[in-house]
Amino acid sequence: MNSDTTQKLLRSFMQFNRAYWHQKEVLEFKNSEVMMLICIKKNAKPESPGLMVSEISQILQVTSPTVTQVLKGMEKKGLVERNLDQLDRRVVRIKLTEPGKKITEQAEAAFHTSFSGLIDHLGEEQSSQLADLLEKAYLYYKDISE
């Protein structure tokens, strides 16, 4: 194992973790809230009554109590609403409110701008290589953690 390469990778991961885009909150909302809003938007079908907490938990790969805690704060801020399922009154469905939809659109636009800027900076070829390498790194860590 090359110690220089190990140190370079470690330093790069640490710098990436501290990168501005990761720390920046979108419109004063927490990153966890923004990711949950995007998750709900992308996975709730327009005609559906919304997503269940367990579905959000599975998609985001976090525990249901974590999802519930974040949702409570988002509900207080008026970003989501909880409704009882009409077919099974034991099930709670989560939907975006109009303000939640607006924040989600603004967050998606901010992400698009950020990644477009990165692609402009790196170029298409290096951006594609970076995406491939990050996917391989993700799969490696996913495999060793299972």
pLDDT of residue 10: 86
User: Of the candidates 109, 106, 95, 25, which has an alpha carbon nearest to the alpha carbon of residue 56?
Assistant: 95
pTM over 0.85: no
pLDDT at 130: 93
What is the distance between the alpha carbons of residues 29 and 107, in angstroms, rounded to a whole number? 10
Q: Each residue's pLDDT tens digit in the chain (146 positions)?
A: 678 888 988 888 888 766 655 545 566 888 889 999 999 999 998 788 899 999 999 999 899 999 999 999 999 999 999 998 888 888 889 999 999 999 999 989 988 888 899 999 999 999 999 999 999 998 998 889 87
